Structure 1
Amino acid sequence: MPYFLDHLVVCASNLDQGRLWVEGLLDVPFEKRGVHDLMGTHNHLVALDKDAYFEVIAIDPAAPKLPHARWFDLDNFGGPPKLSNWVVRCDDLEEAWERAPATVGRIMSFERGEYAWRMLVPEDGKPLFDGCFPTLIEWQSKHPAPALTHRDLRLRRLKLTHPNATELRAALAPFVQAMEHVSIGEGAQASLQAEIGSASGEIWIA
C-alpha cells in the first residue's frame, strides 16, 4: 500500500497568532478558518506542492469541554507557534495501524462540510516520538488540497531530530514511501524542521 506526505502541522496557543506567524515566514495568505467539533479545535490551511498542505491549528476557545484528549497534544501546548507534527496519507488505515507501533492510537472518524476522513489518534493525544512519528490519515472523501489556492510552496526537506533516532527509523520503516524529502538525525531534544521553497526563496520553519 502506498503512503504519501499529506500535510505539516503547526500548533499554536492562539489561532490568529499561529496564522500570522506562518504567513509572515512564507509571505502567503492562508485560507479561511475551519472548525473540528469533535476535537474542539480550529485551523487554517495553505496549499503545499500539488497534493499536500500546511495546517495551523489551535484549541477553539468557543468549544465545550471534551471527554477525551485533543489531537497533536494541544491540551498541553504552550508558548510560541511551532512545527509539531506531520501527517501521512494512506488508503487503508487498518493496515497502517497494524504496521505502526502498538501505542499509535485508535481510529477516529471525522467530518467537516464536504470532507470526511479517519485518523489514528493516541488515547492521551500525544503523537509518538514527540511528533516525529507521523499521524496517519485516510481520506474518505476527496482531498482538500486541490481546492486550495496554489501559492507556489514546495517542501524541500523535512528534518526529524530525536534522542531515539534508531528506534524512530525502525518505526518509520514500513512507511518509507512517504519519506522522499524526510531525513532523521539524533539529537538531545526532539524537533521538526521544514525547508520550504517559495517565490521569496528557501524558508525554514521549526
Structure 2
Amino acid sequence: MSALALDHLVVAAATLAEGVAWSEAMLGVTPGVGGRHALMGTHNRVFSIASAAFPHAYFEIIAIDTQAPSPGRRRWFDLDDTALQATVAREPQLIHWVARCSDIVAACAGWREVGIDRGEVLAAERDTPQGMLRWRISVRRDGARLFDGALPTLIEWGDVHPADAMLASGVTLEALRVGGLPEALWPRIATAGVRCASDGPPLVATLSTSRGRIALQSPVF
C-alpha cells in the first residue's frame, strides 16, 4: 500500500467571506490566497498548520463558488448535501481531512480490497500566484466523504505542493483524532500523528494558536 501522510484539514463554509471571518475570530489568523476549482465549482482560502508532527500540513476553508458554472456532478466533500449545507449555514465546520500518498491508484485499490470504494481518481488543477498546481484526487460520483468525514480523501500531488509557498501562520496542528471507523480500517489509514478510536466524533483536530490550544470537532449527521 502507498504510505499516507496527513495533507490538510477541510473546513466548509457557506461562503468564503464567512469562512475567513470565522478563522479570524476562532483561530486568530486571516487565511491566505487560495483559488478556484473549475472541476468542482468551488473555491478556497488556505494557510499553513505545519508542525514537527505534521510537516507540510495546511488548512483549507472551502465553499461553493456561486459565480462558477455548475460542475454537472456532485461536488467533492459532500458540499451538495442538504444536511451539511444547513449545518455550515449556521457556522463553518471542520468536515474532513485529506491524506497524501505517492501512488493514489494503488492506495484506492488497497481500500477496495476491504470493501471501500473511494471513487474514481480525477486530475485537478488550480492557478496560484506561483503558477499552476496540479494533483490527482479520489472523488466518488455521489461526492460522499464516507463515515461523516472520518475516512480521508486521498490526494497525490504533482511536482509542486501548495504548502511550499505558505509562510508560518502562527497556527500549528498538534493532533488529529479520528472516531467511528471500524477497527478493520485502522491499518489502512495508518498515518503519522493520527489516532483512531472506535467512538466519539468523526474528527477532533487540536491546534496551537496565538489564543491558546483550540480543539475543532466535526459534526455527526
TM-score, normalization: structure 2?
0.84
Q: Residue 10 of structure 1 aligns to a residue in which SS?
A: strand
**Pairwise mapping of residues 75-90 of structure 1 onto structure 2 (< 5 A)?**
75-76=80-81, 77-78=84-85, 79=87, 80-90=91-101
Paired residues, what number? 199
SS at the partner of 2:154? strand
CA shift for structure 1 position 179: 4.1
Paired letter, 1:181: V
Letter in 2 for 1:191: P
> Could you tell me whether the CA contact under 8 Å between 1:46 and 1:148 is conserved in 2?
yes
Residue 65 of structure 1 deviates from its aligned partner by 1.9
C-alpha RMSD of the superposition: 1.6
TM-score by length of 1: 0.90
Runs of 5+ consecutive residues of structure 2 not aligned to the other structure: none
SS in 2 for 1:13: coil
Identity among equivalent positions (%) equals 38
1:203 alignment partner in structure 2? 214
Q: 1:192 aligns with which of 203, 214, 217?
A: 203
Q: Say whether 1:122 aligns with 2:144.
A: no
The structure 1 residue matched to 2:194, chosen from 181, 200, 206, is 181
Q: Is the 8 A contact 1:93 1:119 kept in 2?
A: yes
Amino acid at match of 1:196: L
Shift, 1:44, TM fit: 0.3
Find the residue that maps to 2:79 and give its secondary structure.
helix
Give 2:177's match in structure 1, choosing from 159, 172, 176: 159
User: AA paired with 2:215?
Assistant: W
Q: CA deviation at 1:22?
A: 2.1
SS of residue in 2 equivalent to 1:75: coil
Amino acid at match of 2:62: I
Secondary structure at the residue paired with 2:25? helix
- Structure 1 stretches lacking a partner, 5+ long: none
Shift of 1:173: 1.1
Query: Which of 96, 101, 105 lines up with 1:94 in the alignment?
Result: 105
Q: Deviations over 1:39-78 (max 9, x none)?
A: 0000000101141100000100111122211000101132
Bigger mean CA offset, 44-53 vs 193-202: 193-202
Q: Which amino acid aligns with 1:15?
A: L
